[in-house]
Structure 1
Amino acid sequence: MNNIQRISDAYLCSNCGACYTICGVNAIDFNYSPIGRMYANVNSNCIDCGLCTKVCPSIDYYDLHKVYKDIYKGEIKKVYVGKSLTQNFFQNGQSGGLCTSILAWLFENKKIDGAIVCKMDFAKTPLVQPYLVTSIKDLEDSQKSCYTPVPLLKALKQTKGIQSIALVGLPCHIEGAIALSKTLKKFANIKYRIGLICDRTLCNGVQTAISSFAQTKENDEIKIDWRRKDSTINNKYYSYSNAPVVIYTKKKVLKVLPKNYRMLLKEMFTTPRCYICYDKLNVHADIVIGDPHGTREIDKTHGNSLVLVRTELGLSCIQKMMNQEKIKLVLSNEEDALRGQGIDTRKISVNNFAKALEILSEHTESYLYNFDSNKITRAELSKAKRIIREFIKNDHLETTELIKQAHNKIIKGTKIVPFYYRVAIKLKRMLWRR
């Protein structure tokens, strides 16, 4: 079997869309499991040409994971924190509106004539879809993070005749895009790689679970803002650091939920593939955008973004935008940024989950099974195995049971969290007095 079906069967599909895009016989599309885990599926059209295996990030035919000595960090030329100076981009953005400003600048200066982005559409249960954008006026619709699977690289099939493209994607999207450009010349039109920091994506069932908290009518089509910062809703103000989950129709807000609802559901809706991903910081991008956790420059009220500049191309772009006063950035500390993103903790977690994959019945050839035995601990390995077993069990749940379990996790979590919060505050005060 010279195709990527074995990757999906082993729970290693990152649903980036590269395999779909390179397939010339329409043998690949994407399916959902009951929990909303997206995975590539190979049909009978397959001729076993093997092209899909060359572009799959989980196979990594081109050994991208060996490019840097520290694969968790990669090469960082500059670290900034800041925001867009285009007010509507900043206000409508997830953090600092920088990603949209970069795309707009690239369009304005004729550096690109197309951009691959994703956005959430209004629907009974929202789905995130990839889009090819060819003008600045369409950019605002793609703002804000989506957190659920999107086969972004499928949109590259629409780019025939477009000379220069910017791609805004998660690490798996960027890795897949690089593999595509190395495999077929027609994908060499991907000129700018704008990466997003990615802790994980959540199965699409998380949207079903969250949507169930809103009292929707039969014909309601909704969207979810997973974090709506610096806003007043129903006469209550929400800062960047306290940005809530908002469920709404085109006409009105239906429900505002505390930000910890999403956090409490992360473990339940995270696939094994995300737990073994080293590339949280998108090491193969030109410019990386994310939340400025742990930095001294963070704006907890209005929001701003962390910027990691990785290449000369990215640095040139950022410096010109600063000179033209399109964005406002200040230099930040690299160590603070890495600490804020929890990279040392991630190294331990990834290694333990990689070893924990041995409990799965299906295995295939992949570098993702590699682990550093020095980072394996009994407690972390046991936890990883428990989480994987629970996910496999939940992967087949009926929708009603899925919603019930999600509600139970939130009910339990909202009772426990305040207790631990009070303990943490008390300990902090004790240490401060010393």
Structure 2
Amino acid sequence: MPATSRSTKSHRKNPGSQSALRHLNQQRLIECLLSGPSTQAELARQTGLSTATVSNIVKIMQDAGLVSTEPITSSGRRALNVRLNSNGAVAVGIDFGRRHLRVVLASLGYHIIVEETVTLPLGHHAEQGISAAVSLLDKLLVESGVDRSAVVGAGAGIAGPIDRRSGTVAQGAILPEWVGIQILERLEEALNLPVYVDNDANLGALSEVTWGPHSGISNLMFLKIGSGIGAGLIINGAPYYGAVGITGEIGHATIHEYGAICRCGNRGCLETMASTTTMIELLGKGSGLHLEPEDIVRNALARDSATLRVVDDAGLAVGRALGNVANLINPEVIVVGGPLASLGDILLDPIRRGLVRHAVPVIGETTHLAMSSLGARAEALGAAALVFQHAGIKQS
């Protein structure tokens, strides 16, 4: 499995009512139909349900617009073929940030049904974030009219590395209060859904080759510049995770040997020179103002000279780090995402200068650099795509 995951079928609670039993059986039919249309008789054989039960559930699903049916002839007998509609299977994408939570519901056809972002307190603990995700998901299901039984699973992105041996959030996360948490186990328990967990930058990369304009690209790097700096890698058409799942930690590449102490314990890491936290600290010195990433964007677009200088310096440092990575893996495309994505060429130009200067000439000249068109929703969309990927569903 390319992402930390585990099916929850074996440990879900027994249904306590006829309604709960019907929803559970409906979910079983949806899981069978994900692989393609089936007759009602085939569905009964696959699920172990009676033909009468399958017929009743199919009728309910058809009335709700989840499936469509058509009479066919199977083995010389008349049968009713059942096909899952594009809105018949829904994936949940969850993005846990340092100060935000974003939840998106996406349909089988890779269409966004509904999404919402809420603010989380700085320094929040895992239980707070998970509880907020449960509440927001319940709210969105009600608002969109999506039956919970139509939900195939939930993908979740965490702002930090995940040790795939233990399934825990590892040291170095932007969410230090989450370190050591068995995130997969806790989310499955809270959401009562199949859950798939990955690093947010990895999900950003996945979103670019599924939702974004770079589908079909086999070698892509997604760079997220935010409170931390991380990269997700698509190599030879597949996400790259390394030995224990901790890859893309470009934010801790040493740029200045005698630079500032980084939270990882080293000196002069890229994060100490180019993260939004560092930019805010530099721009806030002496002013007493509390700035946010959106203030950097607004002031840079307004051509504020101090902001432009800080962004330019950060971009050059990022480009230098990217040059070293590009020399190693030779990506076709590098996509820059995160809260500064709307800066466009103001940020891309210095990154490009740094990349060209520090990469082998032919690599610098042929590596395409672009801003993410998915903006702040990239990680949540990647999380939803992860669910469909595990269900074996290709983009349509």
Q: TM-score range by the shorter chain?
A: 0.3 to 0.5
Structure number with higher relative contact order (C-alpha < 8 Å, ≥ 6 residues apart): 1
Q: TM-score, normalised by structure 2?
A: 0.32
- Based on CA coordinates, which of the two structures has the bigger radius of gyration? 2
